[in-house]
């Protein structure tokens, strides 16, 4: 369990072990034991899968995640992959052209003259050739098969879903395996593979965030772990960028992970500058910049957030000359504005309830874009 990275494991004595979370969420299957670390604020597995998928690719839609309501992450992953793969493979296995280097006794494709001379000087056969082969052994099918086999190795997958996964995996017989630890093969969305795209997105989530191995003593361990703070930050950055693009503000641009410095360059004698990296900054000609920072943390019982967050926003605004910063929190609540005394800076607390349906979450992000970007542009126009 300790090797999964999900929990700290401490021996409490008398045969009792104490497990405590390490800031990650996910699930692990250790032999016949299931370890489940869930997100806060009643974020279900379908919402979690949506956040993961959308942060990676804004084309990920809510129905790409599991359609069944379950609190078991492995079951949701298995159901989602089975459903999407069934749709993808309903019209047969996708084939494509791949470039093959081979040594043949007949000419096929083109002869690689340099390789022929260096490898077989003075020998005519076999010929070093390169040709295009129309095959099912392409990147898309390799990704699907690897994800199917990853889930088939789990004990938690129910019998009916396991049968569906096994049937799908047999359809991909002859497709090559992906080596563990190697990067996933690259693919691009085309008209030919459009029906595969939802299945590929779910499969990539499974392969990027899960590990299956055999631990000491022959115990099989499968874990799926994600850092919710990173997932939330990535989702807010991507979704906010998409929302601002839809607004069509001329000349404006969103910059993710914006780097700047707090101190003057001439005053860092013998020492490094004070570096800052801001989650998102919106910049447009004729308007002051707008600062955004995503925080995956809960408010206090009284509905307040950590003072350090507001100190941080004040520093960002000071460095950029921005009059307003938006703190985007994960959780329920209402938008609240706090003006900082003796400054012209306002810090906007903007909760984003991840327990809602993905469409509602995206609608809330769209509202954030309108309030922040359009509101700043209208304020700047009024001042002029």
Give DSSP secondary structure letters for 325-363. EEEEEESS---EEEEPTTSS-EEEEEEE-TTS-HHHHHH
In angstroms and rounded to an integer, the radius of gyration of the C-alpha atoms of the chain is 26
Q: Residue 89: name the closest of 150, 207, 171, 8 by CA.
A: 171
**pLDDT for residue 131 is more than 80:** no
Higher-confidence residue: 93 or 35?
93
pLDDT digits (tens, 9 = 90+) for 191-206: 999 999 999 999 999 9
Highest mean pLDDT among 106-110, 124-128, 364-368: 364-368
Give me 94's structure tokens: 């996708």
Give the residue carrying structure tokens 């929990």.
7
pLDDT digits (tens, 9 = 90+) for 72-88: 788 888 988 999 999 99
Q: How close are the terminal C-alpha atoms of the chain, in Å? A: 61
Residue 216's pLDDT is what?
Answer: 67
Band of pLDDT at residue 98, cut at 50, 70 and 90: confident
Using CA atoms, how far apart are residues 115 and 113, in angstroms rounded to an integer? 6
Band of pLDDT at residue 221, cut at 50, 70 and 90: confident
Residue 203's pLDDT is what?
Answer: 93
For the chain, give every domain's residue range. Answer: 38-94+136-214, 96-135, 230-383
Give me 184's structure tokens: 């996933």
Average pLDDT of span 361-370: 94
Average pLDDT of span 53-79: 73
**pLDDT for residue 384 is more than 50:** no
- The b/e string for 277-302 (b: 16+ C-beta within 10 A; e otherwise) is ebbbbbbbeebbbbbbbbbbeeeeee
Percent of the chain residues topping a pLDDT of 90: 43
Cβ–Cβ < 8 Å for 102, 93: no
Mean pLDDT score of the chain = 85
Q: Residue 42: name the closest of 331, 341, 319 by CA.
A: 331
**pLDDT for residue 30 is more than 80:** yes
CATH number of 230-383: 3.90.1570, 2.30.30, 1.20.58, 2.60.40?
A: 3.90.1570
**pLDDT for residue 125 is more than 90:** no
pLDDT digits (tens, 9 = 90+) for 271-286: 678 889 999 999 988 7
């Amino acid at each position: 369990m300790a090797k999964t990275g999900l929990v700290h494991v401490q021996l409490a004595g008398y045969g009792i072990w104490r497990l405590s979370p390490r800031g990650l969420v996910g699930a692990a299957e250790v032999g016949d034991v299931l370890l489940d670390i869930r997100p806060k604020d009643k974020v279900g597995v379908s919402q979690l899968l949506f956040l993961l998928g959308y942060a990676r690719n804004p084309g990920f839609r809510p129905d790409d995640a599991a359609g069944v309501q379950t609190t078991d992450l492995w079951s949701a992953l298995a159901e989602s992959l089975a459903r999407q793969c069934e749709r993808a493979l309903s019209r047969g296995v996708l084939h494509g052209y791949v470039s093959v280097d081979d040594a043949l006794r007949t000419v096929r494709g083109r002869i690689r003259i340099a390789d022929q001379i260096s490898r077989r000087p003075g020998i005519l056969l076999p010929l070093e050739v390169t040709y295009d082969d129309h095959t099912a052994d392409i990147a898309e099918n390799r990704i699907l098969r690897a994800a199917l086999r990853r889930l088939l190795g789990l004990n938690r997958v129910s019998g009916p879903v396991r049968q569906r996964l096994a049937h799908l995996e047999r359809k991909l017989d002859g497709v090559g395996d992906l080596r563990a630890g190697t990067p996933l093969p690259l693919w691009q969305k085309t008209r030919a593979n459009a029906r595969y795209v939802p299945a590929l997105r779910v499969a990539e989530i499974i392969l990027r965030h899960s590990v299956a191995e055999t631990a000491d003593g022959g115990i099989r361990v499968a874990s799926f772990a994600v850092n919710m703070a990173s997932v939330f930050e990535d989702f807010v950055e991507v979704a906010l960028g998409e929302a601002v693009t839809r607004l069509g503000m001329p000349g404006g641009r969103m910059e993710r992970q914006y780097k700047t410095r707090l101190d003057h360059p001439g005053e860092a004698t013998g020492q490094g500058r004070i570096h800052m990296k801001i989650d998102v900054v919106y910049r447009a000609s004729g308007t002051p910049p707008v600062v955004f920072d995503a925080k995956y943390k809960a408010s206090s019982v009284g509905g307040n957030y950590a003072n350090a967050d507001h100190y941080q926003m004040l520093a960002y605004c000071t460095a950029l000359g921005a009059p307003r910063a938006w703190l985007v929190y994960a959780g329920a609540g209402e938008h609240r504005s706090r003006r900082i005394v003796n400054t012209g800076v306002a810090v906007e607390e903007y909760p984003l309830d991840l327990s809602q349906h993905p469409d509602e979450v995206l609608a809330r992000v769209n509202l954030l874009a309108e309030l922040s970007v359009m509101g700043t542009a209208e304020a700047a126009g009024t001042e002029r």
